[in-house]
């Protein structure tokens, strides 16, 4: 599967990148970065840092994208992911990256018509800008898979909105209104991908490989955030789950829903709205992932993120 990963690393994005880079199904054509969990300078250097840890022979290019949402002021999540967006793991290294994520998305869509899956793990600013710049080229994408939205509140950034859709609600609305095949992996499902401290400790027992230490440092920061909220150490693997489903749709059960996005309001911006009034079907039908075989997901996560190529623990 030819893949573009649009991402805002971010701890779970970093884990998702490691997952994708170790996945035999994936041919990653580009990693495009966007402002989200932290600003676009940090998300870009974090993507490069993850590539250095991934230990892959021919890493895909990292190309920086939009630094601002379409209209709203940026909303960051440094309180979750750390000031550097990578649990303090960014090593200060800066490496060459491209500019112009939007142009690259469209170039690849034209180069491989009908073959590219665009996996969006952050706010949809780059995706919406590509759609606005050249809808005909955008329509050549095979599919857009999005981690975002929440159908049944609570949200995670406001009582009713999920972070990626809240951070750029106008982009989310534009993408949901586009005709391209769209699959949403909502917070409702990703909250079931719960990694506990106990699970990770058991997986990592006695392992001192650099990859294991990197993953442990990322997860421990994530655990600290959730422990501050809920009193116990766990985290949700939002972006790795969306990545696993994009690469292997057979892991999931998907339905279709007509959805709209609210774009206004400090609380409501990014809220997913379904009109359940009889005969009042607003919004475009999109695929929404309802279930996933979680045991198989966790098996793959462990095998690829902790034991995959470059981990120093290849089986």
Residues that bind ligand RIB (CB under 6 A): 8, 10, 12-13, 36-37, 121-122, 147, 156, 162-164, 187, 238-239
Alpha helices in 9-142 (DSSP H): 11-21, 40-54, 78-81, 101-111, 125-133, 135-138
Nearer to ligand RIB, 10 or 60 (CB): 10
Residue 120 CB, nearest approach to ligand RIB (Å): 9
Q: How far is CA 88 from CA 16, 107, 242, 292, in A?
A: 18, 34, 24, 32
Contact of residue 163 among Ca ion, ligand RIB, none (CB under 5-8 Å per partner type)? ligand RIB
- Phi then psi for residue 221, to 5 deg, are -65, -45
Sheet holding 284-292, edge to edge: 98-99, 62-64, 27-33, 2-7, 116-120, 143-147, 182-185, 284-292, 252-261, 272-273
Q: Does 82 contact Ca ion by CB under 5 A?
A: no
Token pair 């982009």 in the structure block, residue:
171
Active site residue 166: no
Nearer to ligand RIB, 66 or 137 (CB): 66
Q: Does 40 contact Ca ion by CB under 5 A?
A: no
Nearer to Ca ion, 10 or 308 (CB): 10
Alpha carbons 17 and 12: distance in angstroms, whole number: 9
- Is-contact 145 245, C-beta < 8 A? yes
Out of 3, 6, 11, 13, the residue judged to bind Ca ion by CB under 5 A: 13
Residue 162 CB, nearest approach to ligand RIB (Å): 5
CB count in 10 Å sphere of residue 159: 11
Contact of residue 156 among ligand RIB, Ca ion, none (CB under 5-8 Å per partner type)? ligand RIB
Contact of residue 6 among ligand RIB, Ca ion, none (CB under 5-8 Å per partner type)? none
Q: Does 85 contact Ca ion by CB under 5 A?
A: no
CB count in 10 Å sphere of residue 215: 24
- Is-contact 190 237, C-beta < 8 A? yes
SS3 per residue for 128-188: HHHHHHCHHHHCCCCEEEEECCCCCCCCCCCCCCCHHHHHCHHHHHHHHHCCCCEEEECHH
Q: Does 162 contact Ca ion by CB under 5 A?
A: no
Residue 313 CB, nearest approach to ligand RIB (Å): 25
Query: Which of the residues 120 through 149 are near Ca ion (CB under 5 A)?
Result: 121-122
Q: What is the DSSP secondary structure assignment for residue 303, as one 8-state letter?
A: I
Span interacting with Ca ion, options 12-20, 166-174, 194-202, 248-256, rule CB under 5 A:
12-20
Contact of residue 30 among Ca ion, ligand RIB, none (CB under 5-8 Å per partner type)? none
Residue 8 CB, nearest approach to Ca ion (Å): 5
Contact of residue 104 among Ca ion, ligand RIB, none (CB under 5-8 Å per partner type)? none
| Selected catalytic residue, list 49, 166, 170, 238 | 238
Contact of residue 15 among Ca ion, ligand RIB, none (CB under 5-8 Å per partner type)? none
Q: Does 308 contact Ca ion by CB under 5 A?
A: no
Q: Does 29 contact Ca ion by CB under 5 A?
A: no
- Is-contact 215 301, C-beta < 8 A? no
Query: Which of the residues 94 through 123 are near Ca ion (CB under 5 A)?
Result: 121-122
Q: What is the DSSP secondary structure assignment for residue 195, as one 8-state letter?
A: E
| Nearest partner of 272 among 259, 282, 281, 286, judged by Cα | 259
> Both ends of the chain: CA-CA distance in Å?
24
Per CB under 5 A, residues contacting Ca ion are 8, 10, 13, 121-122, 239
Residues carrying an active site annotation? 238
């Amino acid at each position: 599967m030819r893949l573009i990963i649009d991402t805002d690393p971010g701890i779970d994005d970093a884990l998702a990148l490691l997952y994708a880079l170790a996945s035999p199904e994936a041919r990653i054509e580009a990693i495009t970065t966007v402002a989200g969990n932290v600003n676009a300078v940090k998300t870009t250097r974090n993507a490069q840092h993850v590539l250095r840890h991934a230990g892959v022979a021919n890493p895909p290019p990292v190309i920086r994208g939009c630094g601002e949402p379409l209209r709203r002021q940026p909303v960051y999540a440094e309180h979750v992911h750390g000031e550097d967006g990578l649990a303090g793991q960014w090593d200060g290294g800066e490496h060459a990256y491209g500019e112009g994520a939007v142009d690259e998305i469209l170039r690849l869509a034209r180069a491989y018509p009908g073959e590219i899956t665009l996996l969006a793990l952050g706010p949809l600013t780059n995706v919406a800008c590509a759609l606005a710049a050249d809808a005909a080229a955008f329509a050549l994408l095979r599919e857009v898979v999005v981690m975002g939205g929440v159908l049944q509140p609570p949200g995670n950034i406001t009582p009713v909105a999920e972070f990626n859709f809240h951070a750029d609600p106008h982009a989310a609305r534009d993408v949901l209104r586009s005709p391209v095949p769209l699959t949403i992996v909502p917070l409702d499902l990703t909250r079931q991908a719960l990694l506990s401290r106990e699970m990770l400790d058991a997986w990592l027992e006695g392992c001192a490989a650099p990859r294991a230490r990197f993953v442990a440092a990322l997860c421990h920061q994530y655990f600290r955030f959730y422990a501050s909220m809920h009193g116990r150490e766990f985290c949700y693997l939002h972006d790795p789950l969306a990545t696993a489903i994009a690469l292997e749709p057979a892991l999931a059960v998907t339905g279709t829903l007509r959805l709209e996005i609210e774009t206004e309001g400090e609380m409501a911006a990014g809220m997913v709205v379904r009109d359940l009034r009889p005969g009042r079907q607003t919004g475009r039908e999109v695929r929404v992932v309802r279930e996933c075989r979680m045991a198989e997901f966790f098996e793959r996560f462990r095998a690829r993120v902790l034991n995959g190529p470059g981990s120093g623990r290849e089986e």
